Structure 1
Amino acid sequence: MMVDERELWACANQVIRQHGAEASSFAKKRAEELLRIGDQKGNAVFLAIATRVDQLECLVAPGTPH
């Protein structure tokens, strides 16, 4: 994977800011789209982002700004 850990966490945070409660669903759907068009690296990156979105959402209380 060409994206380092810090970048993955920053991307996950940005996805949460942009998509709110739908962030995890968005990231997973994007991963599926990338896999469907044959972009395995993009798929892996978005799966990693989705994992981090899920982890961040477990840490942050609902209604708390990110």
Structure 2
Amino acid sequence: MVQEWEIWSCANHAIKVHGENAAIFAAMRSDELMEEGDLAAAKFFRRIVTAINRLSEGSMGRVH
């Protein structure tokens, strides 16, 4: 089971690497994993998208 701190760590890393495109990157990766049939990993990336959006709300506005 993935710990909550791991989600936030991944979200922070995605923001550092992908900037304002972090949520888009994570959502696209989630879609890819869903297509591959890896539902657990796809869910993990959806949780990262949510965390990215929460972190980004103050500084960049909501990212979809």
TM-score, normalised with respect to structure 2: 0.89
How far apart, CA to CA, are the structure 2 residues paired with 1:35 and 1:9?
21
User: Which residue is 1:56 aligned to?
Assistant: 55
Q: List gaps (5 residues or longer) in structure 1.
A: none
User: Which residue is 1:41 aligned to?
Assistant: 40
Q: Which runs of 4+ in 1 moved over 4 A?
A: none
User: Which residue is 2:26 aligned to?
Assistant: 27
Superposition RMSD on alpha carbons, in Å? Answer: 0.9
User: Which residue is 2:10 aligned to?
Assistant: 11
Q: How many equivalent pairs are there?
A: 60
Q: Which amino acid aligns with 1:20?
A: G
How far residue 31 of structure 1 moved from its aligned partner, in angstroms, is: 0.2
What is the CA deviation profile of residues 32-61 of structure 1, one whole-angstrom value per residue up to 9, with x for unaligned ones? 0000000000000000000000000013x2
Q: Which amino acid aligns with 1:8?
A: I
How far apart, CA to CA, are the structure 1 residues paired with 2:37 and 2:13?
25
Q: Larger Rg: 1 or 2?
A: 1
